[in-house]
Chains A and B, each alone.
Chain A
Amino acid sequence: MKTTETPPVDTAEERPPVTKVTVARTPPAKATEGRVLNFFSHGMLILWAFMVVLPLLWAVMTSFKTDRDIFSSPWALPDRLHFENWSRAWTSANMSDYFLNTVIVVGFSLLGTMLLGSMAAYVLARFDFPGNRFIYFLFIGGMSFPIILALVPLFYVMQNLSLLNTLPGLILVYIAYSLPFTVFFMTAFFRTLPSSVAEAAFVDGASHTRTFFQVMLPMAKPGLISVGIFNFLGQWNQYMLPTVLNTEPDRKVLTQGLVQLAVSQGYKGDWSGLFAGLVMAMLPVLAAYIVFQRQVVQGLTAGALK
């Protein structure tokens, strides 16, 4: 086995794979390299884990402190758990409104994105017609364009359609900007599904529409879940689109509402309430992630690994 004296050999790739049996008999860790490396890798890994968790814990801790304690001793534990920060943020700092707006906007956008995205993808993946490739590239081209460029004229398009500062307007825009990735992903997915089932349904007299909704869509469920999670997180966390297109104070979504609060808090000075709001916005997503961790990771990495 590997000892430290042997020089590294560069021909690793050409070498045919050795059967597992020979290696399986290897005596367990004798080289010191293993131990040093293990110590080193654990150290680095723990350090980064610490750096990820610490700011989050700090935020949770701070949300339970009084304003005075926040400023005098940022790292000290709260003297007691000031839950009133949370209730104050929820009611008087409008967190409840921001939550509701976000839920409405993301709920409808997600539904619309998934429905329209898979409809377009289905047609593009399984039917041959003039312009198919062109429309496909039109859709996926949107993935690499800087959105901010389109936002300037889009603002005035929305204004002319009286959609500016409305929730339906925001929903439509979320759908439009989620379509490129959704169509890209779902087209690839529909191509992998066997065509025999759809043909059988069609021969049995089902229309194209019925075949899609009753046969193909249920079969595409794993893909729908992956891309659904991706879109959910993207739309829930969206900041730039609402900042530009939705400036009405009553209709703000969570992210822009919090930023708005932070700016105005500079004058009002309710920092503890703001931290409570911040943690309130963080915790549901983190909790959902911990519960559905496997699906979230699969959903978010599926597109990139293809």
Chain B
Amino acid sequence: MQHGKYRFIVGFLAAPLGIYALFVIWPFIQSIYYSFTDWSGLSPEFKMVGFKNYSRILDDEVFWKSFQHSVTFVLLLPLVTLTLALFFAFMLNVGGRRRKNAAIAGVRGSAFYKVVYFFPQVLSIAIVALLFQFAYNPNSGALNSALKAVGLDSVQPDWLGDPDLALWCVFAVLVWSTVGFFVVLFSAGMASIPRDYYEAALLDGANRITTFFKITLPLLWDTVQSGWAYMGILALGAESFAVVQIMTVGPNGGGPDYSTTVLPLYVYQKAFRDGQAAYATTIGVALLVLTLLFVAVVMRLGRRERLEY
């Protein structure tokens, strides 16, 4: 297999690696370099300013608000989404009535639930965000008129306009749109756990809650862990950008009084609205550090002995 091997390798790698280097790697390297300059992005001139952008971050109130929101998202979003998904997946696979030939069974119609739960996953996050923006509309939105219909005329929150509520409204949309994917993912994982384990545990008198924590969760741990990392990257990245940017407009974008700004949105605003490209990349570097830190923590905490079955 030696003849022409290197020519072939170079020929096959050149185009993909070239495109990847030009549009992904090179901009990443540049952005770290730019974070040490005073580049506006509008003119080609700039000079090095050392750590000035980084010290500016320390006093930037909006940065710390965005940071706080992003950290809230990355801590809570995987927790809520994965807990709900594990719960539903367990119900689907083990919550069923006992039938004749099996000690445990999924609920009737579990295939139907899985199809329906997955709906939001195939929709664009932008479309989902638009849809919920209408639903949250304080005057004629679906939510408030539903509240009115059940006699709660006095409870008419200004969902996205209320600084205390807005962030949680956005949060709920992210949960809504991602739970289904993990239900299906965990279901697939649970389906591959041998039935004998459950049967043995049930024979020993374990109830379903015990079987969940002693059998299902440990055997599913690898999947949960990668789901956790994936969800956290979503919470810090493109998905949270889209929902916040679309749903909470406000005078500055990012909700009333910056109550919903997240780090990726703040990077976007600084670079493309305020003409502070260098400062934007500095915020981006902070986001990068946060993301890598998160992934490292998940990998470290999640490390367990691999269970084979």
Contact = CB atoms under 8 A, between A and B. Distances in A.
Interface of A: 1-3, 6-13, 15-20, 22-24, 26, 28-29, 31, 33-35, 37-38, 40-42, 44-45, 48-49, 51-53, 55-56, 58-59, 62, 70-75, 116-117, 119-120, 122-123, 127, 129, 135, 138-139, 142-157, 172-173, 175-177, 179-180, 183, 199, 202, 207-209, 212, 233, 236-240, 243-244, 254-256, 258-259, 262-263, 275, 278, 281-282, 285-286, 288-290, 293, 296-297, 300-301, 304-305
Interface string B21-37: 01111111011001000
The 4 lowest CB-CB distance pairs between A and B, nearest first, are A41-B95, A149-B284, A237-B124, A17-B196
A54 to B, nearest CB: 8
Contacts of A179: 16, 19-20, 24
Contacts of A72: 140
Interface stretch (B57-65, B110-118, B154-162, B163-171): B110-118
Contacts of A237: 123-127
Among B4, B139, B237: residue with most chain A CB under 10 A = B237
B152 interface: no
Given A17-B199, A301-B184, 7 more contacts: A48-B84, A48-B117, A74-B141, A237-B125, A239-B124, A297-B188, A304-B226
Interface of B: 1, 4-6, 8-9, 11-13, 15-17, 19-20, 22-28, 30-31, 34, 41, 84, 87-88, 91-92, 95-103, 107, 113-127, 130-135, 139-142, 145-146, 149, 176, 179-181, 184-185, 188-189, 194-197, 199-211, 214-215, 218, 223, 226-227, 229-230, 233, 236-238, 241-242, 245-246, 249, 264, 267-268, 271-272, 277, 280-281, 284-285, 287-288, 291-292, 295
B207 A2 contact: yes
A139 B28 CA distance: 13
Given A52-B120, A71-B140, A244 B199 contact: no
Contact of B205 (A7, A236, A281): A7
Contact of A52 (B180, B199, B205, B292): B180
B142 A74 contact: yes
Nearest to A2: B202
28 contacts: A8-B206, A9-B205, A11-B204, A19-B196, A20-B195, A26-B98, A28-B98, A38-B96, A52-B180, A55-B176, A58-B142, A120-B17, A143-B233, A146-B291, A153-B281, A155-B271, A157-B27, A177-B23, A179-B20, A180-B24, A202-B1, A208-B5, A237-B124, A285-B122, A289-B119, A290-B115, A300-B181, A305-B185
Contacts of B133: 262
A175 B19 contact: yes
Given A55-B142, A278-B130, A10 B210 contact: yes
Nearest to B30: A153
Contacts of A288: 122
